[in-house]
Amino acid sequence: MSKTDLYMSNEPLITNLINGEKNKVDVFGVPFDATSTYRIGSRFAPNSIREAFQNIEIYSKRLKKDLENVSIRDLGNLAKVGDINEMNKMVEEVTKEVIQNNKIPAILGGDHSLTNGSIRGTNKPTLVVFDAHLDFRDEFEGLKLSHATFLRRLYEDDCISNIIHIGSRAATKEEWDFVNKNDIKIIDMEKIYNLESGLREFRDELTSSGEIYVSIDLDVLDPAFAPGVGNPEANGMSSREILEFIYCLQNSKLTGFDIVELIPAYDNGSTSTLAARLLAELICIADN
């Protein structure tokens, strides 16, 4: 029995299989929020993003690609589990299996701790992280592994070849000291104020990157654009700004991506709709 058959529930919602065309992207959800520390409820996000995806236009004018003509397979959601280590094991094994089948995993969270598992299922990619928070704490609320510490664990365990962190604006002094000491690439909000300069810096970093994994914590966005997130932080990216950064990836080789930290109970519909738009654009880029 494959790991997909073992761990996944059979509830695909956005599958679009076209006769004679093999899909390049496998979507799956991770309904897990056991390490959430402010707002809870991201376990309900995967299906909320799917519902929004079904109700937006999925032709990308910018990328000139129509997802109506692209095969997409939705594997459903991981079986619900409350233990972070078990969840990460499941995510790692499903991610690894999807990649071994020459597909690109598109993962819908869930809290951000799932990225610890998905990255371990890849082959040391460049990790592009969109996040208001650095997530480089060594420990948070007694946990060595959580949504606030997963990047520290991945960095210490040498699971990634490079990190590009975008939109950061909220962290402890110890975290800022850690990323500065280790020369981790940060394109924070102060750099994004001048959008063209920030985009140029990002494109320059991408030129030396091989395979890329993209992780989007929706709290990177200003609460005016995305109110329904786990840990909202003022002074964030606009929808236009994040999409401009996403389009910079057009010629990159994606090995996988995730979209995390949507809390449907706090959303007015704008956050899930924007998450669905990001999902659509990333699938367009993955299917090149």
Which pLDDT belongs to residue 11?
63
Which pLDDT belongs to residue 5?
77
Which pLDDT belongs to residue 209?
86
Question: What is the number of structural domains in the chain?
Answer: 1
Q: CATH number for the domain including 127? A: 3.40.800.10
Which pLDDT belongs to residue 55?
94
pLDDT (tens digit, 9 = 90+) per residue, 233-258?
A: 999 999 999 999 999 999 999 999 99
Grouping H, G, I as helix, E, B as strand and the rest as coil, residue 67 is helix
Which pLDDT belongs to residue 58?
94
Which pLDDT belongs to residue 10?
63
**What is the rounded distance in angstroms from the CA atom of residue 183 to the CA atom of residue 46?**
34
CB neighbour class for 247 (10 Å; exposed up to 12, middle 13-18, buried from 19):
middle
Q: Which residue in 6, 7, 13, 30 sits closest to 72, CA to CA?
A: 13
Whether the pTM exceeds 0.85: the reply is: yes
**What is the rounded distance in angstroms from the CA atom of residue 21 to the CA atom of residue 125?**
27
Mean pLDDT value across the chain: 93
Q: State the pLDDT confidence band at 176, using cuts at 50, 70 and 90.
A: very high
**Owning domain of residue 174:** 3-286
According to DSSP, the β-strands at 126-130 and 211-217 are parallel
Helix (H) or strand (E) segment spanning residue 79: none
**What is the rounded distance in angstroms from the CA atom of residue 118 to the CA atom of residue 133?**
19
pLDDT (tens digit, 9 = 90+) per residue, 195-229?
A: 999 999 999 999 988 899 999 999 999 999 999 99
- Determine how many CB atoms are found less than 10 A away from the CB of residue 22: 10
Q: State the pLDDT confidence band at 20, using cuts at 50, 70 and 90.
A: confident
Grouping H, G, I as helix, E, B as strand and the rest as coil, residue 234 is coil
pLDDT over 80 (residue 71): yes
